[in-house]
């Protein structure tokens, strides 16, 4: 459960973000961007969190032109948050990446071409002690699967990351099942390519699937 202070900040961020959403298309509130960019550079964690909360709300409504306009500023901010040692900043950055792919442009491919390092950075942001964040990561990555031009360059890295979760028996079974389902969806779109280019990983996927299925059967028998 989130702490009350965090919930209050989230609610405030949502209100300001939604107000900014209405004003930004008419260029009526440039101060909001100045505020966000200033706070992302702060040394205070609370200010950095609030800035990314706001950005995660309003970025979903950016047009492709706005993405292009603010690219040089947004890209280093998102990358720095994904590389942060703070789990809260990583999670907020992942939410922002997810919303970025839902922009008014309607094309995750265009976004990922503009932000080519996002998938590797999102994968590197995985922290095994933060299971909620791992779920958010794979929810975000699942949005990209139908876009072969986006996924193919990172396919092996995606498979290995999902396998590491699926085969980790210290993690909750529902999380491991979610990553197996992610791998199944990858297989639906890239099955032939994976069988040809990464047969060893395919065998590991099958083995991990059998292992998780066997664990489910054991739970039912108890």
pLDDT of residue 5: 41
pLDDT of 205 higher than 90: yes
pLDDT of residue 2: 44
Taking the model in full, what pTM does it have?
Answer: 0.75
How crowded is residue 87: how many other Cβ atoms within 10 Å of its Cβ? 14
Strand blocks (E) in the chain = none
pLDDT of residue 116: 73
**What residue spans define the domains of the chain?**
1-144, 147-222
Rounded to 5 degrees, φ, ψ at 111 are -65, -45
Q: Which listed CATH number (3.30.70.120, 2.40.40.20, 1.10.10.1100, 1.25.10.10) goes with 1-144?
A: 1.25.10.10
Segment 48-73, tens digit of pLDDT: 988 888 888 777 766 667 667 777 78
Is 141:183 a contact under the CB 8 Å cutoff? no
Confidence of residue 9 (pLDDT cuts 50, 70, 90): low
Alpha-carbon Rg for the chain, nearest whole angstrom, is 19
């Amino acid at each position: 459960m989130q702490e009350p202070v965090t919930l209050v900040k989230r609610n405030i961020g949502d209100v300001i973000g939604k107000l900014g959403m209405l004003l930004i298309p008419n260029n009526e509130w440039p101060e909001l961007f100045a505020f966000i960019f200033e706070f992302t550079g702060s040394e205070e964690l609370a200010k950095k969190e609030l800035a990314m909360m706001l950005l995660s709300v309003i970025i979903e409504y950016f047009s492709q032109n706005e993405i292009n306009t603010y690219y040089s500023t947004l890209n280093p901010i998102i990358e720095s948050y994904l590389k942060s040692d703070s789990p809260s900043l990583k999670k907020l950055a992942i939410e922002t990446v997810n919303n970025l792919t839902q922009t008014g442009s309607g094309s995750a491919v265009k976004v990922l071409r503009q932000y080519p390092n996002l998938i590797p950075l999102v994968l590197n942001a995985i922290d095994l002690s933060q299971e909620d964040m791992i779920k958010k990561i794979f929810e975000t990555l699942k949005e990209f699967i139908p876009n072969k031009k986006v996924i193919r360059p990172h396919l092996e890295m995606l498979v290995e990351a999902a396998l590491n979760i699926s085969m980790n028996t210290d993690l909750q079974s529902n999380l491991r099942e979610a990553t197996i389902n992610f791998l199944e969806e990858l297989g639906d779109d890239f099955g032939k390519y994976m069988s040809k280019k990464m047969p060893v990983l395919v065998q590991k996927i099958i083995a991990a699937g059998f292992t998780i299925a066997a664990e489910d059967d054991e739970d039912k028998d108890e």
